[in-house]
């Protein structure tokens, strides 16, 4: 009825139809105010209480403890690449006013394009040494592929870094930490420096609220752009431990670099995320998605759903691999539930795969790789299975993959 197709895109990505219908009503009239959500003041009592509720919905469903605050801002995950560095260097400076920049380490775990980008931004900003404490490329067959989560024994954390950074799910490369604590591809929480509250920072942009977050309370910062699992682009959600909300201006007096006012966690905290005009519409739609998630059974419900969806797709890939049609790109136990990446083998086969998918009303399956885009080549296939993709839609893709395998062999 909506002439909608199945959108397996990596972000912005599919949102639940009932939410879109509700949002369409809110665009005309938000909560009976007679004013549309894109028109209402962000200082109105209706909107400020809506924001409080969005925060509460995240706190409840993820079990965010009272030691942590939930902040909303703009600028996407990319702005957090910078904000993390600046706020955590300010914090380090307040704790160690005598330290010289060359004495300050920033530990980056690099498992894919996004954590690599974050590390590059830290290097650009300066103020400390960027230490790559693990790099998955060194554990790939070619020495060049982000196709695995590195084994625990390869992590070499610094003694007292300003922070330790990792990306939970690499959207481009399809690599994700296992949530089974005993797996060698889980995050090595047991290896973190023990003697201090070293801030552990995680980019959850493409896996936020798709399942519970392991050891959430042990993280200092967890952030995510909304535009994959929970809403439209324009909203960034940050969960911050209180000791990481620091007086960045006091840190300047100790020699830290000034932090732009809108990137300072203290600004966001003090203003209840309303220092300046927020992305009102994005917050609204995210609130609707989170309400719906709660009704469906919260992150535990989505964990089961997402486990099933990913299982179905990886199973058919395996069938295709045995018949020489598909080649999964990621090593066993490092595979993402959210972004499944693989190659279609054979001359022109990738194009045939995409055309056949389009004919069946499925889109967003083209992979992404900076190098390949430059060369005008499609970088393999990527299937994104965010929360709004239903089991039935995943089944339709699987059905198509089976037909494709038959057709190609």
Residue from 200, 191, 238, 209 nearest 302 by CA: 209
| 174 in contact with ligand PMP (CB under 6 A) | no
Q: How far is the CB of 206 from ligand PMP (least distance, A)?
A: 4
Q: Which stretch binds ligand PMP (CB under 6 A): 12-20, 74-82, 269-277, 354-362?
A: 74-82
Question: Quick one: CA dihedral 9, 10, 16, 19, positive or negative?
Answer: negative
Helix 391-408 to helix 349-359 angle (10° resolution) is 140
| Under 8 Å between Cβ of 171 and 177 | no
| 78 in contact with ligand PMP (CB under 6 A) | yes
In the block, tokens 């380490």 appear at 105
Q: Which of 171, 264, 286, 336 binds ligand PMP (CB under 6 A)?
A: 171
Total interface residues for ligand PMP by CB under 6 A: 11
In the block, tokens 């028109």 appear at 39
Task: Please report, as residue ranges, which positions from 176 to 235 form the binding site for ligand PMP (by CB under 6 A).
Answer: 203, 205-206, 225
Beta-strand pair 175-176/236-241:
unpaired
Between 385 and 401, name the residue whose CB sits nearer to ligand PMP: 385
| 76 in contact with ligand PMP (CB under 6 A) | yes
- Lookup: tokens for 142: 């070619």
Contact pattern for ligand PMP over residues 289 through 328, marking x by CB under 6 A = ----------------------------------------
Between 26 and 225, name the residue whose CB sits nearer to ligand PMP: 225
| Under 8 Å between Cβ of 161 and 220 | no
C-beta atoms surrounding 375 within 10 Å: 8
What is the spatial distance between Cα 344 and Cα 251, in angstroms, rounded to a whole number?
Answer: 53
Q: Which stretch binds ligand PMP (CB under 6 A): 25-33, 70-78, 258-266, 288-296?
A: 70-78
Between 237 and 405, name the residue whose CB sits nearer to ligand PMP: 237
| 279 in contact with ligand PMP (CB under 6 A) | no
Binding site for ligand PMP (CB under 6 A): 11, 76-78, 114, 167, 171, 203, 205-206, 225
């Amino acid at each position: 009825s909506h002439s909608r197709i199945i959108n397996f895109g990596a972000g912005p990505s599919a949102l639940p139809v009932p939410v879109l219908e509700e949002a369409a009503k809110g665009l005309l009239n938000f909560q009976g105010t007679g004013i549309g959500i894109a028109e209402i003041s962000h200082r109105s009592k209706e909107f400020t209480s809506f924001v409080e509720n969005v925060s509460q919905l995240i706190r409840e469903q993820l079990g965010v403890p009272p030691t942590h605050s939930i902040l909303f801002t703009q600028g996407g995950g990319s702005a957090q690449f910078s904000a993390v560095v600046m706020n955590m260097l300010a914090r380090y400076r307040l704790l160690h006013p005598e330290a010289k920049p060359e004495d300050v380490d920033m530990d980056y775990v690099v498992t894919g394009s996004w954590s690599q980008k974050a590390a590059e931004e830290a290097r650009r900003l300066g103020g400390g040494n960027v230490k790559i404490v693990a790099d998955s490329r060194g554990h790939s067959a070619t020495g060049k592929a982000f196709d695995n989560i590195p084994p625990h024994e390869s992590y070499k954390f610094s003694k007292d870094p300003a922070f330790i950074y990792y990306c939970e799910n690499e959207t481009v490369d399809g690599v994700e930490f296992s949530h089974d604590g005993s797996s060698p591809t889980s995050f090595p929480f047991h290896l973190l420096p023990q003697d201090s509250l070293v801030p552990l920072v995680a980019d959850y942009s493409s896996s936020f609220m798709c399942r519970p977050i392991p050891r959430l309370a042990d993280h200092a910062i967890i952030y995510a752009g909304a535009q994959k699992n929970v809403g439209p682009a324009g909203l960034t959600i940050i969960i911050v431990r209180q000791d990481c909300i620091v007086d960045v201006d006091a840190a300047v007096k100790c020699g830290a670099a000034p932090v732009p006012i809108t990137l300072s966690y203290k600004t966001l905290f003090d203003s209840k995320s309303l220092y300046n005009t927020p992305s009102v519409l994005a917050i609204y739609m995210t609130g609707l998605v989170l309400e719906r998630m709660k009704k469906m059974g919260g992150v535990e419900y989505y964990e089961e759903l997402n486990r099933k969806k990913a299982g179905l797709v990886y199973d058919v890939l395996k069938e295709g691999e045995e018949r020489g049609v598909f080649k999964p790109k990621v090593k066993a136990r490092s595979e993402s539930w959210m972004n499944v990446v693989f190659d279609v083998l054979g001359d022109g086969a990738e194009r045939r795969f995409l055309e056949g998918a389009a004919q069946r009303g499925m889109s967003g399956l083209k992979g992404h790789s900076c190098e390949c885009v430059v060369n005008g080549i499609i970088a393999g296939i990527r299937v994104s299975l965010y929360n709004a993709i239903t089991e039935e839609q995943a089944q339709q893709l699987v059905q198509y993959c089976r037909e494709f395998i038959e057709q190609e062999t």
